[in-house]
Amino acid sequence: MHARHLQNVFAFACLALLASAWVATATAQVRTATDAQGRALKVEGSIVIVQPDIELSLLTAGGLSEPRKEWSKAARALYPQAVHALLDARHVATRADFRVPVDLDSASHLGQILLLNQAVALSIAQYSQPYSALATKKDPATGKPRLDWSLGPGVSELRQATGADYALFTYIRDSYASEGRKTLRVLGIIAGAAMGGFADIGGGRQIGVATLVDLRNGKVVWFNLMQRQSGDLRSADGAQATVAQMLKDLPL
């Protein structure tokens, strides 16, 4: 199993989870790890941007998502640029971006690190909500969910390869409604209003998951789960707006 297939597996699992957990919400859900005194951890060191897993698609009138290679290629270049701009503005040290080898074997150490991060990110998304928080992941004093997840010391290999203290992992799926989809959506809303109700088949949406991992100990120090019905990663301005949402409250 190679890198691209690993990304596709994660994408399907992520979208399925978000579809069930995000019915009517459209906000970022940020989690920041705390120290023994309950204080939010702060980034102390350099950050490497791990090649983001981004795919853009066209949402057809029938509701099918058709991947668009050119859109995705542009987004994969624009997103890291926007991240660097944000981090540079905050005077955060960065390392050269880490590109995931196309032929990466999932059985390799690096492949296992990427798979583990995906599994941990999904677990955080699922089990850090007030209604689903694991008993072992709650603050003993408040009973509220806390970010207490780790990839373990094995991440030291990524630190050795990049020279960074933290790794930023990002997964984004972004869809854009076709003209046919837009037309059907408007007609549906009009028909619903005429019948005294509301009917909206929905348009495109932007879904993202990001984690910041301390490569010195494997601890996940920050996490964000984002979904919204706007955003456009096909332009530099759109990428900057998306990064502002994806890296919201990054503990810099």
Is 17 among the domain residues? yes
Least confident of 103-112, 182-191, 202-211: 182-191
| 120-159 per-position pLDDT tens digit | 988 888 776 666 666 666 676 666 777 889 999 999 999 9
Is 182 among the domain residues? yes
pLDDT of residue 163: 97
126: nearest Cα among 17, 25, 224, 246: 17
57: nearest Cα among 48, 46, 68: 68
Top-confidence residue, 62 or 51: 51
81: nearest Cα among 186, 245, 237: 237
- Per DSSP, helices labelled H in the chain are 3-21, 69-89, 109-127, 156-162, 179-194, 236-246
155: nearest Cα among 120, 115, 187, 110: 110
Is 251 among the domain residues? no
Tokens matching residue 146: 């806390």
Main-chain phi, psi angles of 165, to 5 degrees? -90, -25
| 64-110 per-position pLDDT tens digit | 778 999 999 999 999 999 999 999 999 999 999 999 888 888 888 88
Rounded distance between C-alpha atoms, residue 48 and residue 133, angstroms? 30
Rounded distance between C-alpha atoms, residue 247 and residue 168, angstroms? 10
% of residues, the chain, pLDDT over 70: 71
Least confident of 20-34, 122-136, 234-248: 20-34
Read off the pLDDT band of 182 (50, 70, 90). Answer: low
Top-confidence residue, 198 or 78: 78
Interstrand relation of 29-32 and 220-228 (parallel, antiparallel or unpaired): antiparallel
Least confident of 10-19, 46-55, 234-243: 10-19
For residue 185, the enclosing domain spans 3-246
Is 11 among the domain residues? yes
Total of domains in the chain: 1
Q: Are 60 and 185 in contact (CB under 8 A)?
A: no
Main-chain phi, psi angles of 30, to 5 degrees? -95, 140
End-to-end CA distance of the chain: 36
b/e for 153-181, b at 16 or more Cβ within 10 A? Answer: eebeebbeebebbbbbbbbbbbbbbbeeb
pLDDT of residue 229: 80
pLDDT of residue 161: 93
Q: Are 7 and 117 in contact (CB under 8 A)?
A: no
- Model-level pTM? 0.82
pLDDT of residue 247: 95
Residue 9 above 80 pLDDT? Answer: no
Q: In sequence order, what DSSP letters do the residues of 165-196 get, joined into one string? A: SEEEEEEEEEEEE-HHHHHHHHHHHHHHHHTT
Rounded distance between C-alpha atoms, residue 8 and residue 199, angstroms? 32
